[in-house]
Amino acid sequence: MRFAATVWFAIFASILAGCSMKRQEIREITLSSGGEVTYTTGHGSTYSVTFRRDGTAESRNVTTENFVAQAPVVKRARFSTDRFERLAGTIDSNGFFEKKEEEGHVDDTWQNLKVVSTTGEKTIQTLGRSGDPQIKAMVDAVSNLAGELQWDNGN
């Protein structure tokens, strides 16, 4: 009986360590979106928000008007590294690293979630996958944190 309990504990501990290892390897999380309609109307935009392990964040908005790209609007913010750990935990626990990079298709618009880790980077398409509650949880976590921060002009 003790042997079985010890084996189960060892298995559980190794699974837990594997999960937290991925979480600790995450260095940067970016949610980006845009509408690729500039070829038809001359208007469009892209937006991205990036959170870094060191507690810095950056939002970038680029628009195109009458087929001319406008100067990007960049804003910066700071947040606690604990918040990053929680965000990274949400990304990890919702299976980001196991998701296929592309699935589904949406014309003229896009949204991607990119994670940079110590071992490389991975980007997954998030639009066209509305039936996946894990992707929704990850996108909501990034969007919610972005909405809670006090953003300064990036000058």
pLDDT of 7 above 60: no
- β-strand partners of 46: 34, 62
Reported pTM:
0.79
List CB contacts of 54: < 8 A, sequence separation 6 or more: 81
How large is the average pLDDT for residues 92-116? 85
Instruction: Answer with the residue of higher pLDDT: 111 or 12.
Output: 111
What is the pLDDT confidence band of residue 30, given thresholds at 50, 70 and 90? very high
pLDDT 10s digits, 37-71: 556 777 888 999 999 999 999 999 998 888 888 89
Averaging pLDDT over each range in 8-17, 63-72, 119-128, which range is the top one?
Answer: 119-128
26 and 83 Cβ atoms separated by less than 8 Å = no
Distance from C-alpha of 108 to C-alpha of 67, rounded to nearest angstrom: 16
pLDDT of 105 above 90: no
Distance from C-alpha of 123 to C-alpha of 104, rounded to nearest angstrom: 15
Distances (CA, A) of 133 to 26, 44, 95, 121: 21, 28, 11, 22
Domains in the chain, CATH or no CATH each: 2-153 (3.30.1560)
Distance from C-alpha of 135 to C-alpha of 101, rounded to nearest angstrom: 12
